[in-house]
């Protein structure tokens, strides 16, 4: 389930509720029984900056998962865990 805000302003933000496991949950730094309650943040990154952003994280030693094709919104995304074990997603529309 999702809610999109600000679509008419060109700066839309999406809030989504999901029941079930997250992508790449098996790589979470949290123990299996302690993963409930971890947060997934998704940030839109301009398509022309996505590869550089992912490369920067990898050079810093962060394990980045993806790319994942999001056919339902014609986008591509990458995932990684922050130091607090929140799943971070960087995504970009293919049509930009």
Domain ranges of the chain: 41-96
**Distance from C-alpha of 15 to C-alpha of 84, rounded to nearest angstrom:** 21
Q: If pLDDT is split at 50, 70 and 90, which confidence band does 2 have?
A: very low
Tell me the CATH architecture of domain 41-96. Answer: Roll (3.10)
Q: Which two tokens stand for residue 81?
A: 């865990």
Residue for token digits 């999406």?
A: 14
pTM for this structure?
Answer: 0.71
pLDDT, residue 55, reads 97
Assess contact for 77 and 68: CB atoms under 8 A: yes
Q: What is the pLDDT of residue 75?
A: 93
Residue (of 48, 46, 28) closest to 38 by Cα position: 28
Angstrom distance (rounded) from CA 4 to CA 76: 18
**The pair of three-digit structure tokens given for residue 5, joined into one six-digit string:** 């805000």
Residue 1 has pLDDT above 50, yes or no: no
* CA-based nearest residue to 94, from 52, 50, 58: 50
């Amino acid at each position: 389930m999702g809610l999109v805000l600000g679509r008419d302003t060109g700066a839309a933000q999406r809030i989504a509720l999901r029941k079930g496991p997250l992508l790449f949950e098996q790589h979470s730094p949290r123990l299996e029984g302690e993963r409930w309650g971890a947060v997934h943040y998704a940030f839109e990154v301009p398509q022309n900056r996505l590869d550089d952003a992912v490369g920067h994280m990898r050079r810093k030693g962060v394990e980045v998962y993806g790319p994942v094709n999001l056919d339902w919104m014609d986008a591509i995304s990458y995932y990684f865990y922050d130091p607090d074990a929140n799943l971070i997603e960087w995504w970009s529309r293919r049509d930009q």
